[in-house]
Amino acid sequence: MNILAQIAIVLGISLCAEAIASVLPFVFPSSIIGMLLLLLLLLSGVLKTVQIQSVSGFLLANIAVLFVPAGVSVLRYWDILAANWLPIFLVCLLSTPIVYAVTAWSVKATMKLVDRSTQTEKERNAQ
């Protein structure tokens, strides 16, 4: 599909998401609404992945560069970071193995339960 059309679709979805976020009765991030909206469009077949292939491929492959500005703004909070770098580092580092172990063990336990369980649960799983 034409590259301009692809850009228009992708930005249009984000624009719709912002509109939806503005009328929601509670605060919910518009970029996550955009994500759910796109997922809905794809699952319902309204939108095909090929229709946004070039733009999505380019943006997703290079998404990390978009975080540079936000990271550089750490300069504005330099004093806070300098005063707290060790506790910040420790909390984030020590939490990593906890999350890994909890996730891995929950998945293993659930798989065991699913395997052992009755037909009804297997059907629910296959849906």
Partner 1 sequence: MIEAITGSALFGIVLCLGTFRLGAVLQRKTKLTLVNPLLVSIILCILVIKVFQIPMENFFKGADVLNMLLPPATALLALNIYNQIKLLKKYALPVLVGCTMGSLSSMVSVTLGCKLLGIDKAISAALLPKSCTTPIAIEIAQGRGGLVPIAIVGVLIAGISGAVLAPHFAKIFKVDNPVAEGLAIGACSHAMGTTKAIEIGEVQGAMSGVAIGVCGLISVVLSMFLPV
Interface pick for partner 1 out of 46, 76, 116, 123 (rule CB under 8 A)? 76
- Pick 2 or 27: Cβ nearer partner 1: 27
> In Å, how far are 40, 41, 50, 61, 92 from 44, measured between CA atoms?
6, 5, 15, 25, 39
Q: What is the DSSP letter of 73?
A: G
Interface pick for partner 1 out of 23, 46, 68, 82 (rule CB under 8 A)? 68
Rule CB under 8 A: is residue 82 a binding residue for partner 1? no
Closest contact distance (angstroms) between CB of 88 and partner 1 is: 6
Chain residues 23-62 in contact with partner 1, contact rule CB under 8 A: 26-32, 34-39, 42-43, 49, 52, 56, 59-60
Total of residues contacting partner 1 (CB under 8 A): 75
- Pick 5 or 77: Cβ nearer partner 1: 77
What string of DSSP letters covers 65-127?
Answer: GGGHHHHHGGGGGHHHHHHHHHHHHHHHHHHHHHHHHHHHHHHHHHHHHHHHS-HHHHHHHH-
Q: How many CB atoms lie within 10 A of CB 1?
A: 13
The tally of CA atoms less than 13 A away on the side-chain side of residue 122 is 6
Chain residues 93-112 in contact with partner 1, contact rule CB under 8 A: 93-111
Chain residues 1-20 in contact with partner 1, contact rule CB under 8 A: 10-11, 13-14, 17-18
